[in-house]
Amino acid sequence: MKREARKTHYFAGTIGFELERKRVRNVNLRIRPDGTVYVSAPPRVPLSEIERFVATKEPWIRRKQEVVRGRSEREASSWEDGGRTRLWGEELTVKVAEAASARQEHVALEGAQLVLYVAPRWLDDFEQAAAHRERLAQAWLRTQLEEALPDLFSRHEEAMGVHASEVRLRTMKTRWGSCNVRSGAITLNTRLVGFPRRCLEYVVVHELCHLLEPSHNARFHALMDRYYPNWRAVRRELRS
Ligand SMILES: [Zn+2]
């Protein structure tokens, strides 16, 4: 147990904030998902300077708190400390950590935490920083999806005797996948990376079946029964 509390609560005007002294290069300010204000600062920066800094950010803090507090649980999967996301059906907590430099930025899966190591300038909660972290996280999630595809496609293409000419990934609102029967190109929704792997497999088989039968008719369903017998249960899971 540490004798000295490293986190302390202060006020700058009417803004209450929690201050943590630690080895960071700059004074960083962020709004937690619950709307509280968190500031980290190097030990050498005087408290008065930190209070002034927080006070100058007051309008922004107020605006941000309103947004954060009005946000639904669902939307809270934004890319900030304490946010939530999903990978292959598992819920992960987002943690934002400092990378030594821009070149060392990366994403790591550590237990049930998805840790975004970002350069110091992207640690705060300003919109640009949040957008930067989102790009980093989305690129990583996309890579997870891409890595799962070759094995999945080769296995099912071989079993079914078909071949997709091209596989594209897109973030789509209304469909999990699509198949251009003429060109043989298959498009998959990037959001599938958040669901259990069987969901991705079901969508892949579904789209490959379209290379044998374009419509959702009895023949199509018979093909699904043959190549992915559990398809009805997985479809139900994706719809819920
Ligand atoms: Zn279809």
Give the model confidence (pLDDT) of 79-105 as tens digits: 888 889 999 999 999 999 999 888 999
Paired strand residues for 168: 187
Contacts for 103 with CB less than 8 Å, ≥ 6 apart: none
**Secondary structure of residue 98 in the 3-state scheme:** strand
20 CB contacts (<8 Å, ≥6 apart)? 6, 7, 38, 39, 40, 41
d(CA 215, ligand 1 centre) in Å: 7
Report the half-sphere exposure of 142 (CA within 13 A, side-chain side).
Answer: 13
Encoding tokens for residue 63?
């605006």
pLDDT exceeds cutoff 60 at 3: no
Q: Could you tell me the distance, in angstroms and rounded to a whole number, from the CA of residue 192 to the centre of ligand 1? A: 16
CA of 123 to the centre of ligand 1 (A): 42
The residue among 50, 71, 92 that closes a domain is: 71
Domain extent, residue 187, equals 145-239
Ligand 1 centroid distance, CA of 38 (Å)? 48
Classify residue 97: in a domain, yes or no. Answer: no
Q: Which residue has the higher pLDDT, 8 or 113?
A: 113
Determine contact, residues 188/169, Cβ cutoff 8 Å: yes
CA of residue 211 to ligand 1 center, whole Å: 10
Q: Does residue 110 have a pLDDT over 70?
A: yes
pLDDT for res 70: 65
- Among the candidates 13, 37, 71, a domain finishes at 71
Which of 27, 56, 71 terminates a domain? The answer is 71
Q: How far is the CA of 175 from the centre of ligand 1 (A)?
A: 9
Q: Does residue 4 carry a pLDDT above 50?
A: no
**The predicted structure's pLDDT at residue 34:** 75
Q: Which is it for the CA torsion 188, 193, 199, 201, positive or negative?
A: positive
Task: Order the strands of the 177-180 sheet from edge to edge.
Answer: 166-170, 185-189, 177-180
Distance 13 CA to ligand 1 centre (A): 58
Average pLDDT over residues 122-144: 89
Distance 193 CA to ligand 1 centre (A): 19
Q: Which pLDDT tens digit goes with each residue over 56-73?
A: 999 899 888 877 766 544
Residue 139 Cα, ligand 1 centroid: separation in angstroms?
Answer: 27
Centre of ligand 1 to C-alpha 141, Å, is 25
Tally of domains within the chain: 2
Tell me whether residue 181 is in a domain.
yes
pLDDT of residue 73: 41
